[in-house]
Chain A
């Protein structure tokens, strides 16, 4: 699975959009981009995934660049409950390893 690079920490004001970047310059054609988060002492939570096109669900939007070498997770109206560590993972959902490697992620702090 391709390696990802994320900033170690970010701050965001409550009610504003949080834009979390992820670089994955070695991504291959059949690898998807997945985002998870983990709030302290809770289980990881899946947020969104995508292959090439931008995706949106009830939690967030995922913007993937045309060359697929980077992506941005957007939380449109961050709340205090969005404070968590966010992980960007690139992996093949079929034929690849089932092992999830979360890396260090980005610690997002949403401030009142």
Chain B
């Protein structure tokens, strides 16, 4: 049981490049979310999913796409990277009334 696995752990992108941040969980959790955290700030919700095939926007969705074709995977796509997207990205999952299990994060720098 690996929990929530995020890859890559570190990434440097050039402005305008696209990439996908991977997130996988092996706990059969129905809820999954993507957050970003900037220095000295709290978590901001980007997108979330309440089950396979269902996604919705959080508070800062612009510039990001998600899909949830399986229960296990919830990738986050950056369409055209911008310096403002430099951040630490966390994926998380939960089930029922349980708390969120977070991944270890992806540290993204856009230059």
Contact = CB atoms under 8 A, between A and B. Distances in A.
B99 A46 contact: yes
A51 B100 CA distance: 16
B75 interface: no
Interface residues of A, number: 20
A43 B58 contact: no
Given A32-B97, A100-B100, A43 B45 contact: no
Contacts of A101: 42
Interface in A25-65: 32, 34, 36, 42-49, 51
B38 to A, nearest CB: 13
A49 B99 contact: yes
Interface residues of B, number: 24
Interface string B6-50: 000000000000000000000000010101000000110100101
A98 B43 contact: no
A48 B90 CA distance: 20
A49 B42 contact: no
Nearest to B31: A98
Given A98-B31, A98-B58, A44 B43 contact: yes
